Structures are given as C-alpha cells and as structure tokens.
Structure 1
Amino acid sequence: MQFEPVDPWPALFAECERSAFHLEVRDAYAVPSESEPFRRFVAGEPVPAGRPRPWTTLMRNVTDRGVAVSRVRVVTVPHSDYHRWLLSITSSNVDAGEDIRYLPRHLVDVEDIPTDDAWLFDAERVAFNLVDENAAPAGAAITTDRWIVERYEAARQRLWAAAIPFGEYAASVHAQQ
C-alpha cells in the first residue's frame, strides 16, 4: 500500500480513464475548505454566491473527459448537520457530472458496508480516504491489491443497486428527517 500524505486526488483523477466510484460511510467530515460554508449553513446564514468550488471544477473536468464519476453516501437518518449541509449543495456535484446516490444506513445490513471510505478507480485501484483524529483529511492509502479491489467492486455493485438517486432521495421522507 502506498501512502500519500498530501492531497492526492487531482493526480488520481488525472490518471483515471474510465470510472471513479466513491463510497462514503462517515456521518461527518472536517474538510478545511468546507468549514466556513458549513458554519454558515448551521448558523442559518446565507452562503454568498461565488465561483464554483474546486471540487466541482475538478469533477467537471474529469467527466468532460468521459470518466464516469459516481458515489454512494451511506447516511444515518436523521441526518447529521454535515449531511444536511451536503444535501443542500449536492446538486452542484450532480451538475458537474457526478452520479450520486444515498443509502440510509438502516436500510442495509451493516455487514454489507465496508468500514472505510474509499475511491475505486477504473476497478483497478482503491484509494482510502485517510482522516486524522479531528476527521480532517490526512491523505490517502492507495492499493492495487486484487482482494481489496474486488471487495470494493462488489460493495459498489451491491450498494449502488440499493441506493436512491440524489434527486429522488432529496424529495424523500428520509431527506426530510
């Protein structure tokens, strides 16, 4: 396994040729670039309109190259403040070309959910999202180990089939809780 202590995502997406799938299993993250918009959301303050977020720009560039980008967010219902905030901004990710689905944790067997967030690139490489003790990004651990890749590919197939597309989920009873 290769450890990348800095932001490895732009390079990983640049190398990606066909598909990138993200499995999210945490109920909160502490991404520094999100702290002010998240704080404003929780405080009920308007978020100023401005330039696109760097992530959505990256996703637009990746999907414009023909790479299919998808993710499943396994969420606890009722939602954490963080996931309520994500629901409010996910449409910008979808507009940038990501196919995002939600899966309420209580609707799936816990044994079916890997315990670690990870990206699966081209069904050949897994990059685990590492976080520090404060849930802030701490790089990635990257592997091409076939057993791990196959485990995440199987989880992708299983969870994708059970997950609810973002637009449908945002209008569902789950999103209102």
Structure 2
Amino acid sequence: MKLISSAERPALRELREEAFHLELRDDYSVPDEDDPFADWMRGVVDNSYMEPWTSVIWRVADQGKTVRRVLAVTEPHSLYVQWEYATTPVTQHAGEDTRWLPRHGLPPGLTFPADGNDWWLFDDRILAVGHFDNTGRVPGSELIEDSDVVAECVRVRDLLSASAVAHREYKP
C-alpha cells in the first residue's frame, strides 16, 4: 500500500462540491499541534496555528462548497477531544460544519469501512484513508477510488451525519 502525505491528498482547491472527514480517535498526536495543545493545557489560547486550515475553509465556503466533519467521541472526553471541542468555533466560523457523535450513540452493529480508520471523502468519489503508526501519528493516507468502498463510505457518512449533533447544540 502506498501512503501519501496530507499535502499530496486531493486538495480542497480541487474540490467540486463537498469534502467530508470522519474522525474516530480520541487523540491524534499531530506534530503541528503539539505546542498549541501544550499551551492550551497551560491555559494559553492561541489559535493562530489554525490559520492555514481556516483560510482554506473560508475560500472553499466562499465558492459555495461544503466541508463537513463528524467526530465519533468517547464520553467523558479525552483531553485532546476537550481541546478539539474548545477550538471548533474557529473552524465553524470559517465555514466548516462540525458535528459530534458520542460512541454510545453509534448505530448498533455498525462496521466502519476502511478498517475503522479515519477518512476524508472528496466529492463522493475519492477516499483518503488515514493510517496511524504505533505512536498514534499519521505517516500518510491511502487513496481509494474503488466505487464499492466509496459507496460504503457515503452510506456511513449519511448514517452518522443524521445521528450526529451540530457543534452549537452539543453539550459534552
């Protein structure tokens, strides 16, 4: 399996209509977030590290395209998810639609496609499946265009989106 970097993933600038991200982990250990997370743990809030992402979201939203995210989370939240929850208004303001789904609210018997890994779905045609190493970091994503796998991800996206709670209404 060939893994590509996040920079090589289908770019949002190439997006036709919609990108959807499913997050299934309670901690990500993303190197770019180590310092901002440590600052937040000390009570210092500086979301400037999010600027590259929020400017992409602003541009995509201004073009009438959609970026959605569902986070399936354990309650009570891990410290990382608490931090994600605290920073979500920044991405919401830029135009990202973020929804929360407590694990106890997952549909019974649901099997996640892509071996239970997180994934991005671009325009219901390209899937970028995140893979994690043994330290929890993401060495890259696997691109999948198989129509059966993509269709299953569309089905799961729709199912979870219908059950997930909009950020402004979710009270952990």
CA shift at 1:8, angstroms? 2.5
Structure-1 residue corresponding to 2:162: 161
Cα displacement (A) at 1:132: 2.1
Residue identity over aligned pairs, in percent, reads: 34
The answer to which of 148-157 and 130-139 deviates more is: 130-139
Alignment pair present for 1:85 and 2:83: yes
TM-score with structure 2 length normalisation?
0.90
- 1:120 match: 121
Aligned to 2:149: 148
Unaligned runs of at least 5 residues, structure 1? none
Residue number in structure 2 paired with 1:37: 36
Q: Structure 2, unaligned stretches of length 5 or more?
A: none
RMSD: 1.8
Name 1:75's counterpart in structure 2. Answer: 73
Report the counterpart of residue 61 of structure 1 in structure 2: 59
Name the CA shift for 1:159/1:24 in 2 (closer, same or farther; >3 Å): same
For 1:161 and 1:70, locate their aligned partners in 2 and report how far apart those are by CA, in whole Å: 12
- Given that 2:36 and 2:47 are in contact with CA atoms closer than 8 Å, whether structure 1 keeps it comes out as no
TM-score, normalised with respect to structure 1:
0.87
For 1:33, give the aligned amino acid. D
User: Which residue pairs with 1:27 in the alignment?
Assistant: 26
Cα distance in 2 between the residues matched to 1:97 and 1:55: 11
Relative to structure 1, the CA distance from residue 113 to residue 36 in structure 2 (aligned partners, 3 Å threshold; closer, same or farther) is farther
Off by >3 Å, runs of 4+ in structure 1? 48-52
Whole-Å separation in 2 of the counterparts to 1:103 and 1:138: 26
Instruction: Give the C-alpha shift of residue 40 in structure 1.
Output: 1.7
**Equivalent residues of 2:3, 2:139 under 8 A apart:** no
Q: Would the alpha carbon gap of residues 129 and 92 (structure 1) be closer, same or farther in structure 2, given more than 3 Å must change?
A: same
Contact 2:70 2:98 (8 Å CA) reproduced: yes
Cα deviation digits, residues 59-97 of structure 1 (max 9, x gap): 112222221110100000000000000011000111111
How far residue 13 of structure 1 moved from its aligned partner, in angstroms, is 1.3
8 Å CA contact retained: 1:128, 1:142: yes
Q: CA, structure 1 residues 118+168, in 2 after alignment: closer, same or farther (shift >3 Å)? A: same
Q: Evaluate the alpha carbon distance shift between residue 97 and residue 6 of structure 1 in structure 2; reply closer, same or farther with a 3 A threshold.
A: closer
The count of residues paired between Structure 1 and Structure 2 equals 169
